[in-house]
Structure formats: structure tokens, C-alpha cells
Amino acid sequence: MAIKNEDPKRSRSRLIGNIFLLIGVGLFIFNIFAPQLLSNQIPRVPYSLFIHQVQEDQVARAFIGQDQIRYQLRSSSPDRPGEVLSTTPIFDLNLPQLLEQHKVEFAAAPPQGNNWLGTLLSWIIPPLIFVGIFQLFNRSATPGGLQISKSKAKVYVQGDAPKVLFSDVAGVDEAKAELEEIVQFLKTPEKYTSIGARIPKGVLLVGPPGTGKTLLAKAVAGEAGVPFFSISGSEFVELFVGVGSARVRDLFEQAKKQAPCIVFIDELDAIGKSRTSGGFYGGNDEREQTLNQLLTEMDGFNADNTTVIVLAATNRPESLDPALLRPGRFDRQVLVDRPDKIGREAILKIHARKVALDPSVDLSVIAGRTSGFAGADLANLVNEAALLAARAGRSTVQMQDFSEAIERVVAGLEKKSRVLSEEEKKIVAYHEVGHAIVGALSPASGKVEKISIVPRGMAALGYTLQLPQEDRFLMSKEDMEAQIATLLGGRSAEEIVFGRITTGAANDLQRATDLAEKMVTTYGMSKVLGPLAYQQQQNGFLGVMSNQRFMSQKTAEMIDQEIKEIVERGHQRALEVLKLNRELLETMAQKLLESEVIEGESLQEFLSQIKRPEALVAA
């Protein structure tokens, strides 16, 4: 985008102002140091020598000041005046008497001749310096200049960068369909205005992180062929109060000049949090002033039929101020959710264009193994697979590279430098096999695809990889109980084989407890407590959302008891499955200790031998 040249009048006025400022600073410095420079021209002697010269009747006259005594020696010749010297005074009450005794003329030193100038400059120069510094920070100069109150929005116009189109966005077909109307309005606004239709001023893109909200906004601008202003909500807020609202005004002024255009505000919750949530006290909150200015601009910027569409993105719509969501502002919300299997495959195809794929790579299989991945996760997955292939010296990305990349994303990097003792490795092997055997009997948890005792991530000493085979949006009570049993399979295997437990199940216990608590307090899956929700979301301290229970002590005790019973049932189920398959547990653990990894056909052959308890067969 071309940068506009500065107004010549403004440039001349700034130059004149800077010249006066430099002159004032120069005079101020001269006023400070000139007396010292002048005084340095008079020879300075020790005070003791001055007293000795007075006692020897060598001093004719003296001018006594607070910081300096200047005196003149008696002249030895009428044609030549005596030498003028100076000394630094000390506290001496006897000095006047000594001067009178030796008939020395003395008086107080006259005030400095430029004292009035110093007084004047002391009142004028500091404000001028302050104004000059403020103008330096707030000047409207070249892009390299510091501009506090100017908008920091990045402006994209046609030709500045590769255009992003809807064809570059996949997995969010419903959102694209909603935004297509915005594109048509920007292209042909008369089609809508001729019949009195009014396009929404603001469109709020809502969805989890990494689902492509920013990419969608750029695609709308690319399809419509209009300028695109992009800024994050946090960029409005600065240290100085009032700067954020000034930036909002400047942003909308720029947008009006380039209409039709799109203004995109990312992370809207940074400035749009509810004003009733607290967190700041007093009426001078910078974030609140910025929000008020945004509301005002959205109310008025379409008054002159300016074609400006405001797109915003957030992953926390529940925290936004209600005033932002009312009709006339962000009155249309578009959900940008995680993609389903078909959407994931389409996203993988887009990102796979940039890498050399081996013909054996089946993107539909990869899409099925990446349930819950967002668009950003899939882009990272393709890049990780390409890096692994390059590291191995292959010219194309193969299926094994994608499998390893999925493990990196899900479980973290391998930590082969973390060496376990033989006893620890044995415990980890039985622990992971216990997860696999119990998990194989609960399809809702996903298919068991790999068991490893190679440490990964921050704390995992081993892992069992279970990947869902299909997208699921609902879970039954039985599915959740089976998932709890799977989580407790590792601890149960340790109990059966070693007769003791270790700290390795800490994360499993936490997840199992959290899941059981949700069953009781959120999903109403307790027969004792009934179909009631005991967990309510409230605004906590400083506006932080928190979950708090509002119930009697007796109800809280009943909830704790129900959670304990659910987790204990899962524990007993895991113990029953593993005791019935004790021989298989031993065989798989020994195999895992030998090879460190069991996967593929070998793993599926082992899992096909699992015996199902009668209770599960009946179910």
C-alpha cells in the first residue's frame, strides 16, 4: 500500500517548532553553565591564603557571596589595578571583624546579571521540553516514526500480497456459506440497498483457536477484492489512558476513506469483555474507554452509507459485553468449529499441495485418525511429516511420516535420553499394556493403535495411542464409564502384577475423577442425585470465569460419594478384565520390554485374544 507524503505546511510548522525548541534548550543550558564558565576565568586560591593576605594588609576590598568570595589585592603602582582573586568561603563568624581590623572594604556580592533570564527560562523551558517530547512520540511522520494514537492496523490491498480465496479455506463450509452474502454485498451493494435491505455492520466469528477465523476474514476480502484492515484487540490498549479510543477513531477514519473495505479485529475479547464482570475500579479504565469508543463508531460509521464491514474473531463469546452483540453491531455470529472427517481431508489436501507426497499416502485415513484436530493442527501435522521425511533423507513424504507426526502432536517428542532402570521399565510396560487391554474393550475410547515405553513429552514414561475412528458428538453413560475404566487400567495392572502402586497413574486418576465429576454435576447421570446440574458458571475475582457449587453440605457430600463410587466401579471393572486376561497381560508386557513398541498387525493380533467378562458380554 502506498504511503502518503506529509503535508508541507505541517512539515514546516514542525521544523520551526523544533528550531525554537533547540534554541530554548541551548539558552537553558547556557544559563546553567555560563556563570560557572565566567567564574572559572578568575583565579581561585585556598581560603587560608585569603586570610593570610588579609592579615598582611594585602587585600583592598572584598565581595562576599554565599558560594564565592571575590577580592582585589592592593596595588603596588597607581597605574596598575590590583589582581582580582576568588576563594570558596567557609563558615567563619570572625571574618567581618578581621576585615574591619585590617581596613578592608567589604560588601555582599552583587546578584548575577543574567538571573532574570534564568528565572524566565526555568518557567518556560521545562514545559517546552515536555511538549517537544510528546510531539516526538505523537508525530504523524513516516512509518518509522512513533505514533501512539495512530491505529496499528495492517492494511492489505490488491497486489500487496497473494490473494486468499474461499478455495484456500476448507472444513468450514457452513461458515463460508454465511460469509458469501457479505462478499456479494461488497461486490454489488446496490442489489441489496435497492430493495431496502441492510447488511449487518458487524459479523462475529466464533470458534476454538486454530480453526481458521483470520483466514476466513482474509478470504472474504480476497473474494470481494476490497482493502482489508487487520488488527488485534490488544493493540488498542496502551499505557496512556485515551490512546485506545484514539486508535479506534483513527482506524475507522482510515476505513471510511478506503470504503468499501473490511475491518478485522482479532481477539475481540481483549477490549470487549463485559463491563459488569469487574476487575477494575474507578471510571478511568483504558479498556472500557476503548470499548465505548468502538460501540460509538459502530453506531455511526454507516450513517453516510459507507460500505465498511467489521469482522471480529473470538474464542470466548461468553465473556463479551452484551452491548457488542445487540442488533446494529455484531448482530450476526458465525460458528467456525473444528472440522469433521470430510473437512479434515479437504484441509489436508490444501496443505499437502506444498509437499511431495508418496503415492501410498491416503489422506482419508489420516483424516480419520485426527479427530478433534483444528485447521492449524492439520497444517502443523503436514509440516511435521515433511520435516521427518527430510530428516530421514527421503524425497517424498510417506505414510509412516504422518503416523510419527500424529504421535508427536498427540504425545510429544520422544525422550530417548531419559533412561529408565530395568525395574521402572518393567512397571511402565505392564502399566501401558493394562491401558491397552481394558481400552480395547471400550470402542468409544478409540482404537488402540500403538503401545510404547519410549518416554515422550514432559513427563510421559510411556503411552498407549488410542485414536478415534469416527467423529462423535455424544457420549452415553456407559461410554464414559468405560473410558474411566480404561484410564484406571494402568494402575490396576500394577496392583495385580506387583501388589503395589506408583506415582505413574497420577494423571490418569485426575482425568478419571474429572470425568466422573462431570457425569454427576453437569450431565445428570447419577441415579441418587437425579437429572440436575450442580455446577454453575459465575464471574469470579477480576472477571475470571470460575465454576462454583451452590448447594447444601449434605448435597456436596452426596456428590463426593457418587464420584467415588463411579471411579471405584471403573477400577473394579479394570481389575476384572485384567485378571481374566492375566496370561495375555504377561505375554504382551514381555514383548513390549523386548521391542519397546508394539503396533500394527502384531498389536491387533494380541488384542484379538482378549477375553471379555460375562458382565460386558451381557451388556
Dist CA 334 CA 204 (whole Å): 6
Q: CA 473, 475, 480, 486 torsion: positive or negative?
A: negative
- Cα–Cα distance between 220 and 164 in angstroms, integer? 8
3-state secondary structure of 591: helix
432 is catalytic: yes
Separation CA 533–CA 418 (nearest Å): 44
Q: Which long-range contacts (CB under 8 A, 24 or more apart) does 464-468 make?
A: 464/432, 464/435, 464/436, 464/439, 465/407, 465/410, 465/411, 466/439, 467/369, 467/370, 467/371, 467/406, 468/371, 468/372
Of 524, 516, 530, whose CA–CA distance to 561 is shortest? 516
Residues 6+ apart with CB under 8 A from 20: 128
The catalytically annotated residue of 432, 449, 494, 562 is 432
Which region, left, alpha or beta, applies to residue 196 given φ > 0 means left and ψ of -120 to 50 means alpha? Answer: left
Between strands 69-73 and 59-64, the pairing is antiparallel
Q: Do the beta carbons of residue 185 and residue 192 sit within 8 Å?
A: yes
6: DSSP letter: P
What residue type is assigned to position 485 of the chain?
A
The CA distance from 378 to 97, in Å, is 97
Q: What is the dihedral of CA 324, 325, 331, 335, to 10 degrees?
A: 110
Sheet of strand 447-452, all strands in order from the earlier edge strand to the far edge: 463-467, 447-452, 597-599
Q: How many whole angstroms separate alpha carbon 440 and alpha carbon 449?
A: 10
Cell numbers given for 68: 564565592
Q: Are 186 and 309 in contact (CB under 8 A)?
A: yes
Closest of 465, 326, 487 to residue 406, by C-alpha: 465
Peptide bond into 339 cis (omega under 30): no
Active site residues: 432
